[in-house]
């Protein structure tokens, strides 16, 4: 199962970033947040207005970042997926990461918070793993989980704004 996590990191796929045309509760002009919508991953979330995209699935600023990826995880529970990521042999979250149960947009989720000994090059990375309401297909592959990586200071706020969208919503 640990091999699956390593494969996951290398399977992260590029996706088409588009505008959603969805109504939000956030006034875009006065807010410190923007809306990111990705039709391929079927998600929408809010992120700090000052951040810029460095790739189609990674956005960062002086005070943090987020990045998205899909994980197959067929026949794996969300707890197995979270433990495989949290306790990967490279220890991306340090020796003693915390895994917390959450619910995001009415879906099972796990939040992985790093321990104090997390390697500096990980930039305070935390992870949010959310089970898709219905599996998605990207590049002829089926995915059951969304992974959101973000710095630990922003991950909960970004994660709580995450919603799953129907690709035809406009």
Q: What does the pLDDT look like over 4-35, one tens digit per residue?
A: 333 333 333 333 333 344 444 445 445 899 99
> Does 69 reside within a domain?
yes
> Does 169 reside within a domain?
no
Q: What does the pLDDT look like over 57-83, one tens digit per residue?
A: 999 999 999 999 999 999 999 999 999
CA–CA distance, 121 with 136 (Å, rounded to integer): 31
> Does 46 reside within a domain?
yes
CA–CA distance, 37 with 94 (Å, rounded to integer): 31
SS3 state of residue 43 = strand
> Does 170 reside within a domain?
no
Query: To the nearest whole number, what is the mean pLDDT of the chain?
Result: 85
- Domain span at residue 88? 2-164
> Does 42 reside within a domain?
yes
Other Cβ atoms less than 10 A from the Cβ of 44: the count is 20
User: What CATH number is attached to the domain comprising 83?
Assistant: 3.40.1000
Domain count, the chain: 1
> Does 49 reside within a domain?
yes
SS3 state of residue 122 = helix
Q: What does the pLDDT look like over 138-166, one tens digit per residue?
A: 999 999 999 999 999 999 999 999 999 98
Backbone angles phi, psi at 154, to 5 degrees: -115, -15
């Amino acid at each position: 199962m640990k091999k699956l996590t390593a494969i996951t990191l290398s399977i992260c796929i590029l996706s088409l970033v588009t505008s959603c045309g969805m109504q939000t509760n956030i006034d875009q002009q006065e807010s410190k947040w923007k809306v990111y919508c990705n039709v391929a991953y079927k998600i929408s979330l809010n992120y700090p207005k000052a951040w810029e995209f460095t790739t189609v699935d990674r956005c960062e600023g002086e005070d943090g970042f987020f990045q998205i990826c899909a994980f197959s995880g067929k026949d794996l529970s969300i707890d197995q997926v979270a433990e495989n990521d949290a306790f990967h042999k490279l220890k991306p979250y340090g020796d003693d990461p915390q895994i917390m149960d959450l619910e995001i947009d009415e879906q099972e989720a796990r939040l992985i918070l790093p321990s104090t000994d997390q390697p500096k090059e990980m930039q305070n990375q935390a992870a949010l793993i959310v089970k898709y309401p219905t599996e998605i297909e990207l590049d002829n592959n089926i995915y059951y989980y969304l992974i959101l990586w973000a710095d630990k200071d922003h991950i909960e706020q970004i994660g709580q704004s995450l919603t799953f969208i129907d690709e035809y919503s406009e």
